[in-house]
Structure 1
Amino acid sequence: MNQKHPGRSSAMPRLREDVRTGLTSEAIKSAILENLYYVQARIPRIATQNDWYMALAYTVRDRMLDRWVRSIAALQRSSRAVCYLSAEFLPGPHLANAMMNLGIYEQTREAVKQLGLDLDVLITQEGEPGLGNGGLGRLAACFLDSLATLEVPSIGYGIRYEFGIFDQEIRDGWQREITDKWLALGNPWEIARPEIAYYVPFGGHTEPCYDEKGRYRVRWVPERVVKGMAYDTPIPGYHVENVNILRLWKSEACESFDFQAFNIGDYYGAVEEKLVSETISKVLYPNDEPTVGKQLRLAQQFFFVSCSLQDMIRIHGLGGGGLPDTFDERYAVQLNDTHPSIAVAELMRLLVDEHGIEWERAWEITKKTFAYTNHTLLPEALEKWSLPLFRKMLPRHLEIIFEINRRFLEDVRLAYPGDDERLRRLSLIDETDDRYVRMANLAAVGSHAVNGVAALHTELLKKTVMKDIFELFPEKFVNVTNGVTPRRWMVLSNPGISRLITQAVGDAWICNTQDEIRRLEGFADDPSFRDAWYRVKQENKQKLACLIRERTGVVVNPQSLFDIQVKRIHEYKRQHLNALHIISQYIRLKRNPSLNVPPRTVIFGGKAAPGYFLAKLIIKFINSIAEVVNGDPEMADRLKVVFFPDFNVQNGQWIYPAADISEQISTAGKEASGTGNMKFSLNGALTIGTLDGANVEILEEVGSENFFLFGLTAEEIANLNMLGYNPRAFYEKNEELKEIIELIRSGFFSKGDGSLFQPLTDALLNRDEYFLLADYQSYIDCQGEAGTAYLDRDRWIRMSILNVSRMGRFSSDRSIREYLEKIWRVEPLMVNREK
């Protein structure tokens, strides 16, 4: 063969290098055309924009695959790996991020230009995987980016929701939910792994039995079984060879078609199992108020946890591990909130029932394997499942949890003899009503570490919702403050500021943000550097202004102060406090048009849970205020209000770099950490905020002179609550606040309908559980200070530069290093460049 084709053996490797892995613009251009023809089956003349995008995406993916294959081989030989279990991932669009991490952004831009195309247009063609509701899923994605960049062998495990979080439209001021069909045009970033599939049982009953050695065992006889199939997405590190795995599970029927049912004429019954089974991964978190919603949510959680643990055991076996009695030595498994906490019972089932390991040894392995991250101080967010539902769906797991609880409570009795009330609080079973399984307690008892996600949050965890567990296991509790990846949230989304920073201090800050970016502080007093910083900020604001006009029709002044609050809509995040400030500004400007305040554009964004009435009413309230304010010619460019629809990762990449003020105004003691606060500050916005979540640490880092602080502390709120908080007292003694509330109640912002916002005003006057009225005047005064500071351009830009220079601690790289050191005990593993 070599004699007949003497040039073949030497030509083929060169061709592969050029088309599959070549990094020059010419190689990339050739690859795009080849993928357009051989993957999309199109020629340039008839190719659609999506065809071009797909061809480009496959071209970029090709350049990851060689690194990915070598990274998988390295994962199998690593001594210990991180597995991150999360019901939510919000990775954002992959294309631009992959080009940046591979270091081929400019080469790709040139290649696309030579083909007569616009790279920015192709980037916007990509659909966004909406596999999460907000901060929890975005944090998980930041952590995967940092794990890869720090060359830590890891796998992220989750669910491949066919339909992600809804797309949001605003109609007549109200949120309208639109189905998120992120897979409709294809997903070039994933690789289906039909050979990696596991069976997940549900329902049925259990039976006692004895194994071949005569030992007592329990056999689970399920009512039905669902198959989980793996879909892998590569997660590249920044300018390293490591490419880690995000493995998402799709649910399928074990047998998609019932020929027996079909043959007797039951056409619908023939495909019923397929339809029921695929429901599990059909949609992100259903409304879980109805029983059927709760059932589906529990099914989703168990489904992806079971698939993931079975997969880890399989990989453990491939590495020569044999029986999983050394499972804990191979894996550090992080439970991202309570959603995957059923993993504690499932690993026990797999070890004891499936692999014959004795209970005591299995429990030791389980505790050493898992660590649990708590993300909330809201008691209602600590998941509980009623025993009837749990018994119906997971009968074997309920037995295991009962046994864990029995042994656990024996230890509690020894530690606290006669303290029955403490036993009741610590029990994994809540004995009220139908009785419930407490998933946070299960996660904490079954893990060797429990961490909060900000210093304040961790301390409050110890004192409030997990006080009893902390007193029993103080050694388990650690703090790891959240962080965000500077690659996506600075280098990719804010290239202008990133270039300025690199010109000033070099590019080492991109992967060593905590140490290197601090050197930027020396440029805060350089007039030419401040001017350049100001110009970049104005360019970012101009871009956002154009996008706002395109999406909403509202024309805003880029010279105005961009005051931005984007996050999930919730009463505790207090978007309506921000709205009250807008009304106060409107009233003041109407009365005194010569008021010396900067022109201000207030921008909101965020989604309300479909069943959360007051959150949806807050969106309507903001849009109704916007209609009045923006329609008043006297406001002109002095005050504008915008609700930016469908806030997501892609839109965030436009919004964060354009902000002057970052609104972080949640009630102190309610926000676990926040990560939007970090994204804003890293992009040069100044924070107006309470001492809540990571705001406390941001204030410590940037200095009180560069932070606009207001509001009651968590301790002051607790004391006010204890004394009996009366919101009407604040209403009665504050004339401006009273005027605002009465203006709302009169129907001024609702076309004369005084009843529209009555639920909102009634909630504030009668309950105000998030202390808006108590914090109102402090907030108004603080906003006045921020406005005055903005009028002094040099002062403001200097504060902005100092803010960025002191935010390095909030890189997710630092967070991951702390997890590695405090919890996981996993070492980085460099992937060899050689094939």
Structure 2
Amino acid sequence: MEISKEQFKKEYNRALTSLYATEVHDLTPLEQYITLGSVVKEYTAQNWMQTKREYQQNQAKQVYYFSIEFLPGKLLKSNLLNLGILDTVREGLADLGVDFTHLEEVESDQGLGNGGLGRLAACFMDSMATCDVPGNGNGIRYRHGLFRQKFVNGYQVELPDNWLRHENVWETRRENKAETVRFYGQVHLEENEEGQIVPTYRNTQDVLAVPYDTAMTGYENDTVNNLRLWSAEIPASAEVDYSSEGMRKSIHNISDMLYPDDSSYDGRMLRLKQEYFFVSAGVQSILRYYRKLGVPMEHLAENISIHINDTHPTMCIPELMRLLLDEEGLTWEAAWAITMKTCSYTNHTIMAEALEKWPEHMVAELVPRIYQIICEINRRHIESMTLLYGAQFTWRTSIIQDGIIHMAHLAIIGSHSINGVAKLHTEILKEKALHDFYLAFPARFNNKTNGITHRRWLLLSNEGLSDLISDYIGTEWKKKPNELYLLKAFKEDSVLLDKLEQVKLDNKMRLAEYVKETMGIEIDPHAVFDVQIKRLHAYKRQLLNVLHILSLYLKLKEGPTPEQEMVPRVFIFGAKAAPSYSYAKEIIKLINAVADLINNDTSINNKIKVVFVENYGVTLAEKIIPAADISEQISLVTKEASGTSNMKLMLNGAITLATLDGANVEIRDKVGDENMLLFGMQEAELYHFYDSHSYHSHDIYNHNPRLKRCLDALVDGTIPNIEAEGQEIFDSLLKYNDEYFVLKDYDSYVAAQSRIDSLYTDRKKWNQMSLLNIAHAGEFSSDYTIMHYADEIWNVHHNKNL
């Protein structure tokens, strides 16, 4: 948009007078931020209205992206960038005596997601708007995020993440768009006056789903899409008595917290309730919109695409069937054909525990009509598949097995498209994890490698690098990120390489200052910043990283060796463990204990420092990623579906230290082995161990003195204050045979790490590797991912000029 600095200042002053009836210097930073947010929201409003109007008038096919998580981060700077007025606003605020950076700090990270799943959904919302894809997000407006992480004596402690304690200036409550969601009760199929069999509900608990809409602005275009998040409230007029505190709390809890503790029956029931809540509200809302178009229901799939992001929203399928059968009066065959054409599903994992399963009795109790429909979908599936493939094959693909409902099976059977999120992941789905389904429905399976929005992860978080790139290749790459490839032409340009090194050093100095201010740890910006930032899970192998750190430390303590001439290293972790995941929390304690040991040992002359930042999230990532030299992507091969931190760190010039897992394979295909640090088993070797049961971690322990010394340190008192945790981790690796092959990959990992010293001291070589990683990172933009979804799954319009 076009706006002058003077015009902005007038509108800002007008807004603060309207909101607070005072002068700008009398406002707190929070009030200044709220004032600015209201102005920016007003700038967006006209395009938001116009976009919705055009979609409806043109009957544009729209995508509805259902996800249990969205993790957009802070929206102020992002909205200003996309509107094209970031510099204008900064300068205007400076004229008014307002420091824009203080306003950035006031804004809360939206507590709507946990990790990669939610961040991917947010990147997709940004890219859909930028690519002119008619797209909508659908999720839950959690009052509290996952949790706010604190470390107390090295242990993770979970505190409430009350991100909505201040006004969320970006959302708009749409009470007139509320929907009613039914839980519990009894459902009987009875004949009505017209002779039709229809469901009759009795004794249901009704919940009002109130939508809060947030504008998703496209980058320097006029498209503004919608993210709709649902809040659970008590219906204004209800037949059931909602006066009891328990009843009111049960409704309040539905949208209170992301991922409530599911270690109890009540916790699992609440998670199931959350899933049906946002699915039912969202699908009802879609049909409400669709009816306004005046198009026959039989053409729904030509106008609407419902995308199921992971298994959490799988009840979209039976809920759409419910509405088509019960409210629209369609036959089963017609409703099923429409549902399959409308719904598509992204699988994000092969991990058994992440492929959701629900006991039949829980689903039958909570959503009895949905349970009836799932049973009928399964009955018909079994009937048709048995004729083709026989009973044994059919049972393996059944939705219901031994009293358990497999949500991934339901998602596959009820969708026209099933995609993995990296080439390796998709091949594993087809050949291993979902092989029977692939044999039955080969045309439905496809790959869509994940992507990231370079606007958030380069233009916003690393302005120095963004400006440097534009100085050399112009600004067209901001809209066409694959043009970062032009940087390859400057591989031998020593001036650019020196400037690239200076940008990285500046970012490292800023991070070092933050770490000193918040943690009291002094780190050397000239050291190698080795970064592992991701959810804490055993398969991501933060444990392998910390064992190597411990190994380096023990070598330094042994006395003068060539390794004492190593380049100083700063190992940076950011991770949360799920509250009920005790093993992950033990690893957090171990990392913090090793950090205390190393950071307070003056005898090693600051050769190693370990930093574990608290409460890792989007805003912290924006500080850490631009400063990273090494990107740790060390999951056990086949376990990480894709990864996106690998792409973000690559985009900012970090060198990837990785197994050939997930999208690391495709990064290698782009940059080449020589511009990464690869290690570890490959897929075939891992599956050989699985098939032969020939892996014995004790053999490695007994024949590798360096590794044995590290493992013994877990239990012999070398590391203070980890008696219980050290023993548990030691036992997991030896007594329980090292489920994620940490010991098997240890030597290979150490060898890859040892290459860093020589590479890093060759500054030209290192900077060339960094430049080439940046040059190839544009190909992992979520803009291109979304265009592939639009063309190959959703069949919707998009801007083909990007």
Shared fold, TM over 0.5: yes
SS in 1 for 2:150: strand
In the alignment, which residue of structure 1 is the partner of 2:282?
A: 308
1:683-731: CA deviations, max 9, x gaps?
1000000011000100111110001000001221111122221111111
> Aligned equivalents of 1:637 and 1:643: distance in 2?
16
Query: Structure 1: which 4+ aligned runs deviate by more than 4 Å?
Result: 270-273
SS in 2 for 1:195: helix
Match of 1:299 among 232, 250, 273: 273
In the alignment, which residue of structure 2 is the partner of 1:403?
A: 376
**1:700 equivalent in alignment to 2:654:** no
- Indicate conservation of the 8 Å contact 2:59/2:293, yes or no: no
- Indicate conservation of the 8 Å contact 2:640/2:661, yes or no: yes
Deviation at 1:671, TM superposition (A): 0.4
Task: Report matched runs for 1:788-799 at 5 Å.
Answer: 788-799=758-769
> Aligned equivalents of 1:408 and 1:28: distance in 2?
60
**1:530 equivalent in alignment to 2:500:** no
- Indicate conservation of the 8 Å contact 1:86/1:140, yes or no: yes
Which amino acid is 1:248 matched to?
Answer: L
In the alignment, which residue of structure 1 is the partner of 2:228?
A: 247
In the alignment, which residue of structure 2 is the partner of 1:506?
A: 474
In the alignment, which residue of structure 1 is the partner of 2:105?
A: 124
Match of 2:254 among 280, 293, 296: 280
- Indicate conservation of the 8 Å contact 1:369/1:447, yes or no: yes
Which amino acid is 1:578 matched to?
Answer: N
CA gap 1:354/1:257 in 2 versus in 1, 3 angstroms: closer
SS in 2 for 1:537: helix
SS in 2 for 1:297: helix
SS in 1 for 2:3: coil
Deviation at 1:584, TM superposition (A): 1.1
In the alignment, which residue of structure 2 is the partner of 1:427?
A: 398
In the alignment, which residue of structure 1 is the partner of 2:332?
A: 359
In the alignment, which residue of structure 2 is the partner of 1:744?
A: 714
Match of 2:347 among 370, 374, 399: 374
Deviation at 1:42, TM superposition (A): 4.2
In the alignment, which residue of structure 2 is the partner of 1:833?
A: none
> Aligned equivalents of 2:725 and 2:577: distance in 1?
18
Deviation at 1:220, TM superposition (A): 3.4
Deviation at 1:206, TM superposition (A): 1.5
> Aligned equivalents of 2:395 and 2:602: distance in 1?
62
In the alignment, which residue of structure 1 is the partner of 2:486?
A: 519
> Aligned equivalents of 2:20 and 2:586: distance in 1?
45
In the alignment, which residue of structure 1 is the partner of 2:182?
A: 201
> Aligned equivalents of 1:567 and 1:824: distance in 2?
30
In the alignment, which residue of structure 2 is the partner of 1:104?
A: 85
Deviation at 1:807, TM superposition (A): 1.8
CA gap 1:244/1:439 in 2 versus in 1, 3 angstroms: same
In the alignment, which residue of structure 2 is the partner of 1:264?
A: none
Deviation at 1:594, TM superposition (A): 5.2
Deviation at 1:217, TM superposition (A): 2.7
- Indicate conservation of the 8 Å contact 1:702/1:807, yes or no: no
Which amino acid is 2:448 matched to?
Answer: V
In the alignment, which residue of structure 1 is the partner of 2:209?
A: 228
**1:389 equivalent in alignment to 2:357:** no
1:285-341: CA deviations, max 9, x gaps?
1111211011111111101011111111111112222x5322111111110000000
Deviation at 1:635, TM superposition (A): 2.2
SS in 2 for 1:698: helix
Match of 2:578 among 582, 597, 609: 609
> Aligned equivalents of 2:284 and 2:489: distance in 1?
53
In the alignment, which residue of structure 1 is the partner of 2:621?
A: 652
1:205-243: CA deviations, max 9, x gaps?
111222453222333335211110110000101000001
> Aligned equivalents of 2:609 and 2:245: distance in 1?
54
Deviation at 1:817, TM superposition (A): 1.0
> Aligned equivalents of 1:630 and 1:529: distance in 2?
35
TM-score normalized by the length of structure 1: 0.93
For the aligned residue pairs, the C-alpha RMSD in angstroms reads: 1.6
Deviation at 1:538, TM superposition (A): 0.4
1:105-163: CA deviations, max 9, x gaps?
11111111111121011111001111111100000000000000001111100000111
Task: Report matched runs for 1:466-477 at 5 Å.
Answer: 466-477=434-445
> Aligned equivalents of 1:615 and 1:270: distance in 2?
38
> Aligned equivalents of 2:189 and 2:724: distance in 1?
62
- Indicate conservation of the 8 Å contact 1:344/1:446, yes or no: yes
In the alignment, which residue of structure 2 is the partner of 1:16?
A: none
In the alignment, which residue of structure 2 is the partner of 1:566?
A: 533
CA gap 1:296/1:256 in 2 versus in 1, 3 angstroms: farther
Structure 2: stretches of 5+ with no match in the other structure:
none
In the alignment, which residue of structure 1 is the partner of 2:48?
A: 68
SS in 1 for 2:45: helix
Which amino acid is 2:122 matched to?
Answer: A
Structure 1: stretches of 5+ with no match in the other structure:
1-20, 262-267, 831-835
CA gap 1:827/1:696 in 2 versus in 1, 3 angstroms: same
> Aligned equivalents of 1:312 and 1:42: distance in 2?
43
Deviation at 1:257, TM superposition (A): 9.3
> Aligned equivalents of 1:690 and 1:385: distance in 2?
33
Which amino acid is 1:305 matched to?
Answer: V
Deviation at 1:41, TM superposition (A): 4.5
Match of 1:773 among 743, 749, 766: 743
SS in 2 for 1:294: helix
CA gap 1:551/1:517 in 2 versus in 1, 3 angstroms: same
CA gap 1:570/1:272 in 2 versus in 1, 3 angstroms: closer
Deviation at 1:269, TM superposition (A): 3.3
> Aligned equivalents of 2:554 and 2:543: distance in 1?
17
SS in 2 for 1:464: helix
Which amino acid is 2:399 matched to?
Answer: L
**Deviates further, 120-129 or 167-176:** 167-176
> Aligned equivalents of 2:624 and 2:613: distance in 1?
10
Deviation at 1:405, TM superposition (A): 0.8
SS in 2 for 1:700: helix
In the alignment, which residue of structure 1 is the partner of 2:650?
A: 681
In the alignment, which residue of structure 2 is the partner of 1:557?
A: 524
1:560-590: CA deviations, max 9, x gaps?
0000000000100000100011011112222
**Deviates further, 328-337 or 215-224:** 215-224
> Aligned equivalents of 1:212 and 1:829: distance in 2?
51
> Aligned equivalents of 1:39 and 1:180: distance in 2?
27
> Aligned equivalents of 1:347 and 1:814: distance in 2?
30
- Indicate conservation of the 8 Å contact 1:202/1:222, yes or no: no
In the alignment, which residue of structure 1 is the partner of 2:139?
A: 158
1:516-546: CA deviations, max 9, x gaps?
1111101121000101101101001001111
> Aligned equivalents of 2:733 and 2:548: distance in 1?
15
> Aligned equivalents of 1:45 and 1:675: distance in 2?
42
> Aligned equivalents of 1:284 and 1:621: distance in 2?
27
In the alignment, which residue of structure 2 is the partner of 1:465?
A: 433
- Indicate conservation of the 8 Å contact 2:25/2:97, yes or no: no
1:361-401: CA deviations, max 9, x gaps?
00000000000000011011111110111110011111111
Identity %: 42
- Indicate conservation of the 8 Å contact 2:599/2:606, yes or no: no
- Indicate conservation of the 8 Å contact 1:257/1:270, yes or no: no
